[in-house]
Amino acid sequence: MAQPKAASRIDQLVAAMTVEEKVGQLNMLTADLAVTGPGMPADYMAALRAGRLGSMLNLYGADLVRQVQTVAVEETRLGIPLFFGYDVVHGHRTIFPIPLAEAGAFDPKLWEQTGRIAAVEAAAEGLTLTFAPMLDVSRDPRWGRICESAGEDTWLTARLAEAKVRGFQGQDITRPGSIAATAKHLAAYGASMAGRDYAQVEISERSLHETYLPPFRAAVEAGTVALMPSFNDIAGVPLTANVAILRDLVRGRWGFDGIMISDYNAIAELIPHGVAADVAQAAALALKAGIDVDLMASAYTNGLPTALQRGEIAMSDLDAAVRRVLAVKQRLGLFEDPYREGADALMTAERWAAHREAARDAARRSIVLLNNRDGLLPIAKAPRRIAVLGPLADSQVDMLGPWSGAGRLEDMITFLAGLRATWPQSEIEHAKGVEVDGDDVSGIAAAVALARKSDLVVLCLGEARRMSGEAGSRARPGLPGRQADLAHAILDLGKPVVVLLTSGRPLLVPWLFEEASTVVATWHLGSEAGNAVGDVLSGRWNPSGRLAVSWPVDVGQIPIFYSRLPGGRPFNPQFRYSSKYLDMPNEPLFAFGYGLSYTRFVYRNLRTSAAEVRAGDILTVEVDVTNEGKVAGEETALLFMRDPVASVSRPVLELKGMAKLSLGPGERGSVRLQLAASDLGFLGADLKPRLEAGLIELFVGPVARDEELLKASVQVLAA
């Protein structure tokens, strides 16, 4: 069918549609190239030919997508193209570190670059939308999806939101190599009760607006095409039906004009939530709240016609959602170019090689050196004999991590392979010792025998990829299986041991950090994991990664985060009736921003451009940093603030800026950061922005610990 003119296309299409075709535009079904939720794939081709399908997920490959799009454009009555979505969370074919790891680079340029690469690869395979970035502020390592997040800090997550939206969507979203971003999960999913996926959320209005919503507003202001509400409820109202947040706040006050896509089966789940009696009521509630696309619940298909007949929705409600879906298709350029011509030609051999090098760089920048007490690292001279032990030493699948797009197992560089490439002249042997999970310890003896005759042991422990991510909650996130037995057996030998800790979350193993002098957090690093680890262990790359989340001592401290409120009885070790535990410290094992280097950076001479500021002013904060070690390195300086006296109690520290600089041995540089006066304000008792007169304390340093921060202050003057 010939397409209507662009100026009136949407009006003409809506006018021409039957109710079934309108509902069809709101229906998203899955293919079977990936399993990302419950239920079996529907017969999407039958639905498409009948005009009951508007978009798809889990279908990729240029030829496959073209075949399906051809049916949509040439064989359906109205010829409306589909858009194709997929979970391109930390790479498509080239897999980058999981977001929690990449956040530890504290580098928006890197985040944007990896998003751009993922978009180009996904677009080359016919995709037009990704279900990313995930912007849930996450402070509970029991929650499996913390691995998809940028960690515990609101400001940092907002910066990642902006960078990823820019990376995915590019400067022109209609161009080959760009895909639409979907900011998810709106909102507060990271605060799921007891760290359980899909559980209820109990937070204050202040926490919602001050902690959990700002990253989504940042994504909206950066131009994200889509938003995805979360599975959870807030104050008993599921987000999928939350008019106050989705329609009144996000669409009304924020001005979001894109589409809202439900999470997988979430509309139908309004029934077990207990707010809908049947699928028609569930569909009506979601549509009225502003959900435009029903992802795999078939609730709109089965429920909206009935809801329309019962008067639970009006035709205008249905038309508004259809118009938004069509407007996004128009914005993506799909009416003019439904096949995104030229996208599949972007992936040249040179580009593939560049993407792999970028993955290696992202991986080594995401590695965090947690312990190096005996100075074992870096290993400048290749050891003669190396034992690479543990269940994760040669596991390609676990390098992928959760939500690994279309990453191919055979493309993953394991730790064993990377270390063999790093030290080709060394005799490197491998033994698993134990599986990641399970009770078989019969392999420990062989691992111990290898360790005994080696000059260096690299012990690879942690989680399998499926132990993190969606449905990956763990009440006790320690080392699974009998890995602790293997670790004790190896560490008791007294050999030089480097522990590589693979995980999607902080693992609560305080004994390991006491017994092992050298521990490296490798997270799930992606395609170039082994090569990146080889770069760090050998000293070819000086580790610069930091923790984007506090690392607890014990599960009893959770949730734990640096930006807490002071309380009326802050911790005082000399006073029994202060806020403390009797059986463990208040502080985490490793603080937000923690990460060791092979050199030593010293901060001096913190200064501000003014002693006083008023509304509308810009304040410049500068500090000198000197590399007083013997090797070159990259340092991340963090800028925090504290408002010690305000009309609403304020956190003991709040992140407000960051900057990176690279310095050679003995070299000194300066970090220059700017703050708007409004950055020194907060949400008042009425949850509206407020800048109060008074003293503001500013801190600069590498980590969220008072003793490692330089301090200055400015006076905010009354308007």
Q: Is the separation of the CB atoms in 295 and 263 below 8 Å?
A: yes
CA 517 from centre of chain: 30
Both tokens of residue 393? 């030493």
Q: How far apart are CA 260 and CA 278, in angstroms?
A: 22
Catalytic residue among 87, 140, 153, 263: 263
- Give the three-state DSSP class for 24: helix
Query: For residue 306, which of 278, 336, 271 has the smallest C-alpha distance?
Result: 278
Alpha helices for 431-521 (secondary structure H)? 444-452, 483-491, 510-515
Q: How far apart are CA 100 and CA 117, in angstroms?
A: 18
Catalytic status, residue 263: yes
Q: How far apart are CA 200 and CA 355, in angstroms?
A: 40
Sign of dihedral through CA atoms 511, 512, 514, 520?
negative
CA 495 from centre of chain: 37
Three-state DSSP string of 45-98: HHHHHCCCCCEEECCCCHHHHHHHHHHHHHCCCCCCCCEEEECCCCECCCECCC
Q: How far apart are CA 158 and CA 162, in angstroms?
A: 6
Query: For residue 595, which of 526, 534, 523 has the smallest C-alpha distance?
Result: 523
Residue 697 Cα distances to 97, 102, 656, 700, angstroms: 35, 29, 12, 10
Name the β-bridge partners of 497: 457
363 φ, ψ (degrees, to nearest 5): -65, -45
Q: How far apart are CA 377 and CA 497, in angstroms?
A: 10
Q: How far apart are CA 42 and CA 479, in angstroms?
A: 39
Q: Which residues are catalytic?
A: 263
